[in-house]
């Protein structure tokens, strides 16, 4: 039987408890065997001055998930042509790991933008999609294709922008981050 592997893509700048709790929920309650945190490489078209280097963000993910066997930090997209399109990433993942059944994990905010993605119909036709709730972006489940499922994951309204701004302002937000991630950010003076 193929492992059901969730692909959770993002810049993870930085990874926080919202990401971790959601992925944990998907493994323990939504039928996934594992979740791969697919760290997105820096998009040269996007000017993100506070985006940490690719490998530093990967390191933060690795430190956050250590010890939980259902989580995996992936730099798979670092080795693909840029810009990295989800449709292409999924295609390459399926070629390289035929023993896995990949599921794309996206927020309801991204689902609203999904028609603007590259080849959205191909993704829907070839990959099951799990949509998790985001505040202000309700989903009408009756309108969804069969291969798409809305998961009733707990709603944690935490985002990386808030985290970066809080750190920059000198706030102590240790409980919004995995303790190891918080320690690295503080010791290395990241986002200051």
DSSP percent split of the chain into helix, strand, coil, nearest 5: 40, 15, 40
CATH 3.40.50.620 fits 3-158, yes or no: yes
* Structure tokens belonging to residue 93: 């993942």
Beta bridge partners, 150, equal 131
Contacts of 99 (CB under 8 A, 6+ apart): 2, 3
Does residue 150 register a pLDDT over 90? yes
Whether the pTM exceeds 0.85: the reply is yes
64-120 pLDDT, tens digit each: 999 999 999 999 999 999 888 999 999 999 999 999 999 999 999 999 999 999 999
Give residue limits of the domains in the chain.
3-158
Return d(Cα 187, Cα 143) in angstroms, integer.
48
């Amino acid at each position: 039987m193929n492992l059901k592997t969730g692909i959770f893509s993002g810049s993870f700048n930085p990874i926080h408890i919202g990401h971790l709790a959601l992925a944990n929920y998907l493994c323990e309650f939504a039928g996934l065997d594992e979740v791969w945190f697919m760290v997105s490489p820096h998009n040269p078209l996007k000017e993100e001055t506070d985006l940490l280097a690719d490998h530093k963000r990967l390191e933060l993910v690795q430190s956050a998930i250590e010890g939980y066997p259902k989580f995996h930090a992936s730099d798979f997209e670092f080795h693909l042509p840029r810009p990295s399109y989800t449709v292409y990433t999924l295609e390459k993942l399926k070629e390289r790991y035929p023993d896995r059944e990949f599921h794309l994990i996206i927020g309801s905010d991204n689902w609203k933008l999904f028609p603007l993605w590259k080849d959205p119909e191909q993704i829907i036709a070839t990959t099951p999609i799990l949509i998790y709730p985001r505040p202000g972006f309700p989903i009408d489940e009756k309108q969804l294709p069969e291969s798409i499922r809305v998961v009733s994951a707990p709603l944690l309204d935490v985002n990386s922008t808030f985290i970066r701004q809080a750190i920059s302002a000198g706030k102590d937000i240790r409980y919004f981050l995995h303790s190891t991630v918080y320690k690295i950010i503080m010791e290395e003076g990241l986002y200051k």
